[in-house]
Amino acid sequence: MSDGTHQETLGDVVRQLAAIAVIRRRLVRELPQGAGNGSMVLAALAQHGETRLRELAHHLDCDLSVVSRQVAHLEQQGAVERRANPDDRRSSLLSITPQGRALFDALVQVHTDLMDEATVDWTPEELATLTGLLERLKDGLSRRARRAQPLDCLPARPLAHTPSTRCVPASRPEGERD
């Protein structure tokens, strides 16, 4: 595939992922009582177990203040509980409650039902192919995110169908390696 065609195809991928993100946000807003607002917090606590707020923000790759607000909201709902950290009294440990687990399980079911409806005419092979490709994409993006190199440039209209701006990783301080 020529470089121009490859860049054009990647632009199409980015546009499709952006469109899916918009649809997902709309679907999350339609969940009862704003249940989707803390869904990622609940997912992280369900996966990682009891953790400190700072670690939770790290798992979510999200600003501490944003995660703190979501946790406070989930605490008010009884979905998350906080207890003093016995190893460091300056911090707290967060965990998902049985009520939070039930909410999380219900959210997973809602998302599963939505995906089932959206892919009702797909074959098991097509779903397996999609899963494999999404996993490869996630792994590639994860490797890039771990390097955390800022880009020297950003295209003026990143989702527009125009020739792409070639961005290169910013130079790193001397001695810094992958």
Q: How is 38-84 classified by DSSP, letter by letter?
A: GHHHHHHHHHH-SEEHHHHHHHHT--HHHHHHHHHHHHHHTSEEEEE
Give me the residues paired with residue 93 across strands: 52, 83
Q: 């707290």: which residue's tokens?
A: 92
Task: State both tokens at 106.
Answer: 């219900």
Q: Using one digit for the tens of pLDDT, what is the confidence trace for 63-118?
A: 999 999 999 999 999 999 999 999 988 889 999 999 999 989 988 888 888 899 99
Closest by alpha carbon to 158, among 8, 1, 11?
11
158: pLDDT confidence band, cut at 50, 70 and 90? very low
pLDDT, greater one: 171 or 39: 39
Measured between alpha carbons, how far is 67 from 17 in angstroms, rounded to an integer?
24
Provide the pLDDT for residue 32. Answer: 64
Q: Is the entire prediction scored with pTM above 0.95?
A: no
Contact 82, 93 (CB under 8 A): yes
Contact 148, 128 (CB under 8 A): no
Which long-range CB contacts under 8 A does 29-35 form with residues at least 24 apart? 31/107, 31/110, 35/103, 35/106, 35/107
Query: All domains of the chain, ordered by start, with CATH?
Result: 36-148 (1.10.10.10)
Provide the pLDDT for residue 97. Answer: 97
